[in-house]
Amino acid sequence: MNTNQLATLEEAVDIKKQLGLFGGGVSNVYVPEYQYFAAPNDGDKKFYHFDFVNGAKGLNVGLIRETIKRNPFTWPAMIAADIAGATSRAE
């Protein structure tokens, strides 16, 4: 398990605020459900994901957090590209 993919709900809410209207805004914060195994977790850190108003689905909150942390000047363009890619997959 890549622990960078895990985030707390508080982190998810904070990142949702930082993203603002990227992808039209975050429409859903959730932990995916799997048929045969439990989603990864570590205490209060869960496998949170975002869906966006524009149809982009399944972007991992922990990986967005790491992108923001590691790319303080270019993360908006990087996240916008991820959302655009997820939108095209959803169509």
**Residue environment code for 22-47, b if the CB has 16+ CB neighbours within 10 A, otherwise e:** bbeebeebebeeeeeeeebeeeebbb
Number of domains in the chain: 1
pLDDT in tens, the chain (91 residues): 789 999 999 999 999 999 999 999 999 999 999 989 989 999 999 999 999 999 999 999 999 999 999 999 999 999 999 999 988 665 5
Say if CB 49 and CB 60 are below 8 A apart: yes
Domain of residue 34: give its range.
3-52+60-90
**pTM confidence score:** 0.92
Sign of CA dihedral 43, 64, 23, 19: positive
Of 55, 3, 59, 54, which is closest to residue 29 (Cα–Cα)? 59
